[in-house]
Amino acid sequence: MPVKETNFIEFGFHIAENLAYKKRTWQSSTRSHYSSDKAVDGKMTIRMGSGSQCAISGGNVSEAMWMVDLGDVYAIRAIFIYFRIEESKIENHEVASRILGFSVYASNTSRIVDGKLCYHENNNTIESMPSQTIVNCIVQARYIIYYNSRLSPPLRSADYSKFAYIDLCEVEVYGFYGEFCEKPCPRNCKHCHPSTGECLGGCSTGYYGHHCLLYNRENLALFRLTDSKYPFNGYTGSEKAVDGKRKSLSYTGGECFISANSRTYAIWNVDLSYPRGIERIVFYYRTDNFMWDKNNQYTSRFLGFSIVVSNATNPRDGVVCFRDTKLNRSIPAVFDIDCHVTGRYVIYYNERNPELGYPKDYSQFAYAELCEVEVYGIYCFFFDKNKQKQRNNLPISCSTIL
């Protein structure tokens, strides 16, 4: 089953909210520990059965169903489905035979008979069945349902498996608004009016206004202590990324931190002094003030990066706010990430392990080239006159203590 790459940037989905992420799920049967929630946990680095990141059903049944409850009715635009992948061609043909003939429904109840058929697969073989697919479905719905059947009739080709299965490693659901549902809901809005885009479901923490475009949080990283491994030189030190300057996104402008050449990994961090209630992190990457497109050499250096929040400087000890596994050279130069967690250090990390293979768009070596890093949120603690740490009435962004 060939892996077919999809372009998420084309639709801007890399910055849109995945409505299915960690929502309630159900499936008709479960094989071992491959539960239904595995398909909405955001993990798909290992899409094999042995990776424990996929929802897989039990065998010997004629019907198989999986669903996610979005928790509310949303204006839906597209559904991304990532199927299970195995190592050998024979194993992948077996998985493909189990996927053939699947259907996707959108409904306001948990019954497919009440919903709209968004897609029915009926024209692939075990050779052509893609390992991931985009289902475009303009509809207002609460439940997304994946269904497959081996009931008879209809007559099917010999490629079809004898029984029906679930082999879902991730399902992502994205919502849009507008006359033709061509516009994304405001990034920081859970649910918007299908005609005007005005936010109806409440804004993300720290945002306000009809379209959740206004923001009232402090940049916690400004002028804080920073550190890095392998800086390029003293002219481009780690502190440049928190000096409040981003007029020039180039080496010659002297406003960017730039790491050394020819390294297998690059790391940078900012120390917020104490655990802070982080809500949002914004990165301005080096462009050298040239047009930011696939011809800009620095796009390849940005790809594959991770953002970690921790109470220590080791990225392995923290919470991963974002890890790039699917972007290409259309990656934005200004990367805006929502991350509601409490921690002291914000860490940027990238690597190019010579023992691993990377997509063709990736640079040969690892770089950290950060012209500005802004960390927005609130102070989770205050200190009394005896320097004793106490808690305020904490908002939700302080509820996840590392």
Three-state secondary structure of 289-341 = CCCCCCCCCCHHHHCCCEEEEECCCCHHHCEEEEECCCCCCCCCCEEEEEEEE
Contact 259, 266 (CB under 8 A): yes
**End of a domain among 184, 202, 231?**
184
Strand partners, 183: 177
Q: Are residues 174 and 269 in the same domain?
A: no
Strand partners, 69: 24, 143
Q: Are residues 180 and 304 in the same domain?
A: no
Q: Would you call 44 exposed, middle or buried from its count of C-beta atoms within 10 A (0-12, 13-18, 19+)?
A: buried
Hey, is 69 helix, strand or coil? Answer: strand
Q: Are residues 161 and 273 in the same domain?
A: no
* pLDDT averages per 10-residue partition of the chain, 402 residues: 35 61 95 94 88 91 96 86 88 92 95 93 92 89 95 79 95 75 70 74 77 84 95 92 95 95 96 90 94 90 94 91 86 90 94 92 95 87 46 45 38
Per DSSP bridges, beta strands 381-383 and 24-27 are unpaired
Strand partners, 374: 282
- Tokens (6 digits) for 100: 């053939």
Q: Are residues 36 and 104 in the same domain?
A: yes
Q: Are residues 167 and 286 in the same domain?
A: no
CATH of the domain at 295: 2.60.120.260
**End of a domain among 134, 162, 184?**
184
**Number of independent structural domains in the chain:** 2
**Domain residues for 88?**
9-184
- Tokens (6 digits) for 390: 């106490």
Residue keyed to tokens 């908002």: 395
Q: Are residues 226 and 170 in the same domain?
A: no
Q: Are residues 278 and 135 in the same domain?
A: no
Integer Cα distance of 313 and 65 in angstroms = 44
| Count of CB atoms situated within 10 Å of the CB of 326 | 18
User: Does the residue 31 lie in any domain?
Assistant: yes
Indicate if the alpha-carbon torsion angle 64, 68, 69, 75 is positive or negative.
Answer: negative
Nearest CA to 377 out of 270, 222, 244, 217 is that of 217
- Tokens (6 digits) for 330: 């259309």
- Tokens (6 digits) for 153: 């009739």
Peptide bond into 154 cis (omega under 30): yes
User: Does the residue 197 lie in any domain?
Assistant: no
Integer Cα distance of 80 and 166 in angstroms = 15
Strand partners, 170: 82
Provide the pLDDT for residue 46.
87
Provide the pLDDT for residue 16.
62
User: Does the residue 46 lie in any domain?
Assistant: yes
Provide the pLDDT for residue 34.
94
| Count of CB atoms situated within 10 Å of the CB of 257 | 25
Q: Are residues 102 and 176 in the same domain?
A: yes
Q: Are residues 162 and 239 in the same domain?
A: no
Q: State the pTM of this model.
A: 0.52
Peptide bond into 153 cis (omega under 30): yes
Nearest CA to 129 out of 148, 111, 107 is that of 148
User: Does the residue 2 lie in any domain?
Assistant: no
Per DSSP bridges, beta strands 369-379 and 218-219 are antiparallel
Hey, is 241 helix, strand or coil? Answer: helix
* CA of residue 78 relative to chain centroid, distance: 15
Integer Cα distance of 220 and 60 in angstroms = 56
User: Does the residue 114 lie in any domain?
Assistant: yes
User: Does the residue 176 lie in any domain?
Assistant: yes
User: Does the residue 330 lie in any domain?
Assistant: yes
SS3 letters across 145-169? EEEEECCCCCCCCCCCCCCCCCEEE
Provide the pLDDT for residue 287.
95
Contact 284, 376 (CB under 8 A): no
User: Does the residue 203 lie in any domain?
Assistant: no
Contact 348, 269 (CB under 8 A): yes
Provide the pLDDT for residue 155.
62
Q: Are residues 301 and 365 in the same domain?
A: yes
Provide the pLDDT for residue 164.
95
Residue 392: what residue type?
N
Contact 177, 183 (CB under 8 A): yes
Residue 145: what residue type?
I
Q: Are residues 268 and 384 in the same domain?
A: yes
